[in-house]
Amino acid sequence: MTHPHLEAIDAAAWPGVAAVPEGRLTEFRARRAEAAFARACEKAGLVLDPDADPDLIVDHEELFSRLATSGWLGLAEGYLAAEWRTDRLVKVLTALLEVDFQPKRTRAEVPAGRYTGGELPAELVSLSSGDGMSSFGGVFATGVPTTVRTAVPSHVPGAGRGAEPATHFVDLTTYSAPTAVERADLGDAQARTVDMLLDAAQVTAGTHLLEYPSVGGALAIRAAHRRATVDTLTADPAQAQAVRERLTLAGVTDSVHTEVIERPVPGSRDWRGRYDAIVSVEKLEVLSRPDRPRFIQSLDRLLAIGGRVSLQSVVATDTLSDAAKAALGVLRAYIWPGLEFPRSDDIHRLADRDSGLRVIAQTHLGVHYAQTLRIQQSVFEGQSREAAADGFDAVYRRLWTYQYALREALFNLGMLDAVQFTLTHRNRRGRR
């Protein structure tokens, strides 16, 4: 069977989008999927009638073959194939997640793969960032922080027995929602994120700082402006080249050294040294589970006694539903193969059980992250022509819009949060 609307799609680049599941049994299942989708939309309050201000419009019935075969991944691939459209994508995804839409499928969910060190293309990041180089979440000026000190369970082996305490104290900070946020605020918000991370790691003049992995240049540049000496690591040669160019333009090449490492998680043979401070931004969640203990052990090995690690991560909350987990399959299939959001407690457990580090402070920024994603999507869509000129085809551009909308929906529902963790060594070898 031919599908004229798919003829322009590059089948080599997008095999899952260019092909539609077929067969007599698939046709039967597609009709059931269509009915189930209509019921879910009605339950979610989504209008499908094209004559009644619809929330979404289905242009090609192939969408339902995808839904019947791959569930949420099929829904996403149908969007990438332009088989359905909406100018209210965040609303649509939020509503379907709220009613726990879980379409029956014949294929298994996309499993978590392995992170191999590749980073988002610098050209792509520049099309949706506030500073031309950063993809991470921002913190807007109108948010007000509140900090309390709270006791949390220790996961150290033997905790609660002998001399090992059952709990330890963590400074827990939450930020109120920002107000009157505009697109022009994004660059300042991302710079504020960097400053908060550097402050938490106590980066000042003379600090020897490790940034792992590189997040595009902004953090290294701001650290250099504090007169720190910076090593920034990446396993992606293209990322290293982009960062070096930005460092040159910023005039900080004497203070920052960029190194390409062979493996995404550096072992003792890949990188050695001792650092006063280490900063890592939104990398833990895209590492596969087997790589996470090695990651925290590398931070432990490279951090000098008395130093600080500042780590920002997107985390799952206890409300992350099975439907949401299924919806995230498209991000594993097309962007971050190892993606699996840890809970905050998982990061505490990882540090306690697999390293000599301990979380001593954490700052929750989820409401600001949701606003960041909203603005990033708007900025990206406003530069659609530039994205096309840079070689990102229509499928890629729809993928980028979809991933922003999906993540914003999950943040708005409170299923995801963004947290900055501060860690130091538990045993400071007599130092206080």
Q: Is residue 103 part of a domain?
A: no
Query: In this structure, is residue 203 part of a structural domain?
Result: yes
Mean pLDDT score of the chain = 96
Residues 81 and 201 in one domain: no
pLDDT at 404: 99
408 HSE (CA, 13 A, CB side) = 21
Q: What is the mean pLDDT of residues 114-141?
A: 95
- What is the percent of the chain where pLDDT is above 70? 99
Q: Where residue 181 sits, what CATH number does that domain have?
A: 3.40.50.150
Measure the CA–CA gap between 40 and 50, rounded to whole angstroms: 17
25 and 159 in a single domain? The answer is no
Residue at a domain's end among 61, 83, 98 = 98
Residues 193, 78 share a domain: no
Please tell me the predicted confidence (pLDDT) of residue 428.
56
Please give the model's pTM, rounded to 2 decimal places. 0.96
- Name residues whose C-beta falls within 8 Å of residue 206's C-beta, 6 or more positions apart in sequence: 227, 228, 229
Pick from 265, 335, 316: which is nearest to 294 by CA? Answer: 265
Has residue 45 got a pLDDT over 70? Answer: yes
Q: Is residue 370 in a domain?
A: yes
395 and 298 in a common domain: yes
The total number of residues shown for the chain amounts to 432
Instruction: Taking residues 340-358, report their average pLDDT.
Output: 98
| Statement to judge: residues 288 and 386 lie in one domain | yes
Inform me whether the pLDDT recorded for 12 exceeds 90.
yes
pLDDT tens-place string over residues 139-197: 999 999 999 999 999 999 988 888 889 999 999 999 999 999 999 999 999 999 999 99
Please give the pLDDT value at position 164.
85
Task: With respect to residue 105, please indicate whether it lies within any of the assigned structural domains.
Answer: no
How does residue 432 score in pLDDT terms, banded at 50, 70 and 90?
very low
Mean pLDDT of 31-54: 96
Q: Is residue 251 part of a domain?
A: yes
Asked if residue 237 and residue 331 are part of one domain, the reply reads yes
Same structural domain for residues 280 and 193?
Answer: yes
Query: How many domains, in total, are found in the chain?
Result: 2
Domain co-membership, 259 together with 344 = yes
- Indicate whether 346 and 243 sit together in one domain: yes
Looking at residue 332, what is its pLDDT?
Answer: 97
For position 160, what pLDDT does the model report?
A: 85
- Does 432 reside within a domain? no
Domain boundary (45, 63, 98) is at 98
Same domain, yes or no, for 48 and 166?
no
226 assigned to some structural domain = yes
Statement to judge: residues 326 and 186 lie in one domain: yes
Residues 134 and 237 in one domain: yes
The range of the structural domain enclosing residue 78 comes to 4-98
pLDDT for the residue 431:
42
Establish if 192 belongs to a structural domain: yes
